[in-house]
C-alpha cells in the first residue's frame, strides 16, 4: 500500500516539473514563430479546383 503513495508522489512531482518547464518555455518565446510569416509570401499557393477536364482535340 505504501508503494502506491510513493508512486503518486513521484507522478505529481514529475507532472509539476513538466508543467513548470512548459510555462518556462512559453514565457521564453520557445513557441513563437517570427520567421515563417515573413517568408510565407514566397510559397506558391495553388488554387484548389475540382477536377478540370481538358477538352479533347479529336476531330469527329
pLDDT score for 57: 67
pLDDT score for 53: 64
Say whether pLDDT at 12 is over 70: yes
The fraction of the chain above a pLDDT of 90, given in percent, is: 40
Q: What is the mean pLDDT of residues 19-43?
A: 84
Average pLDDT, whole number, for the chain?
Answer: 83
Provide the residue count of the chain: 60
- Contact at 8 Å (CB) between 17 and 23? no
- Contact at 8 Å (CB) between 40 and 33? no
Residue 32 to residue 25: CA distance in whole angstroms: 10
Amino acid at each position: 500500500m505504501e508503494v502506491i503513495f510513493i508512486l503518486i508522489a513521484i507522478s505529481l512531482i514529475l507532472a509539476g516539473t513538466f508543467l513548470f518547464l512548459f510555462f518556462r518555455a512559453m514565457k521564453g518565446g520557445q513557441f513563437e514563430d517570427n520567421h515563417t510569416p515573413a517568408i510565407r509570401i514566397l510559397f506558391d499557393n495553388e488554387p484548389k479546383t475540382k477536377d478540370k477536364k481538358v477538352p479533347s482535340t479529336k476531330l469527329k
